[in-house]
Amino acid sequence: MENRRILNSTPIYMLSVQEARERMDQYLMKHQAVEKVKETLNIVIPCIWGKMDARVYIPVCGDGRKALIFFHGGGWTLNGIDTYEELCTALANRTGRVVVSPEFRLAPEHKFPAAVEDAASTVQWVFDHAESLGIMGDKIAVGGDSSGGALATAAAMYFRDRGGVPVEKQVLLYPVTDYYIPGTQSYETYGTGYMIDRNFLIWGWNHYIRSTDDLSNPYLCPLRAEDLSHMPETLIIIAERDVVRDEGEMYGEKMKKCGCKVVVHRYDGAMHGFLMNTRLKISRKALDEVGVFLK
């Protein structure tokens, strides 16, 4: 997917949240190439604020005894389970895992830590209902792209800190791991001219955080965590031409220094969001890598 194609008029960050959601939903729904899976289930997950919708994808192949909980990206403000069907069906079939995609709360209506709370609630629910889902409770991985990658690793960190769920692995696709200040070299190099650029991230951050006091919280900015030891085995997919490239790679290096088992793979020429178009050769290659990692 060429990110610039969405920018044929007013940039996303200059729209109202509702206008941005409508434009992104319209574009992504129109261009999706959803793979066939064995079965798709719409479920409801109880959480601290009520009930959260979620979608479950049963893969065509594989025994379906393992799970991947996938959190969608969108700067904490955009997208949902409908717009992520293409990627989630592809992940189910490549990994042979049951994929659970939750409709977590979005900003600015629900600021931090609402999305993290929903991510943790989803992981806990899948673990508690492993038997009815036909999966093994000790074979639950978390994953996400962009801001969803931040939620995935926050959920893994949450259960590392508190126990309760033995998160097996995590897959982070070009994750957002830090606030936009002070920024990195990739913030300068790829800060303008792309759909996911510096201005979009600032727009999303400003909708999501309550105040800068939140920035010291590792569940918000994982790169600022003092201790990343005992985190699950991790695969981090990086896009070369991406404003958050450097912070994703820095997160992987920090995890390694803390003794974690981590693979960081930069895909040259790729842009942020490239896995949203699973027809691209480079996207299929990355999906195959995720498949091997999670099988």
Which are the catalytic amino acids? 146, 242, 272
- CA separation for the pair 61, 279 (Å, rounded): 20
Question: Which tokens is 177 given?
Answer: 């791991």
Picking from 100, 215, 96, 92, the residue whose alpha carbon sits closest to that of residue 150 is: 215
Residue type at position 52: M
- CA separation for the pair 137, 168 (Å, rounded): 9
Return the residue matching tokens 């099988």. 295
Query: What is the helix (H) or strand (E) element at residue 181, kind and residue range?
Result: none
Return the residue matching tokens 């790729």. 270
- CA separation for the pair 20, 38 (Å, rounded): 33
Alpha helices of the chain — where are they, by DSSP H?
17-31, 85-95, 114-128, 130-133, 147-162, 185-189, 198-208, 245-257, 281-294
Q: In what order do the strands lie in the sheet with 233-241?
A: 39-47, 50-58, 98-102, 67-71, 140-145, 169-173, 233-241, 262-271
- CA separation for the pair 261, 244 (Å, rounded): 22
- CA separation for the pair 175, 236 (Å, rounded): 8
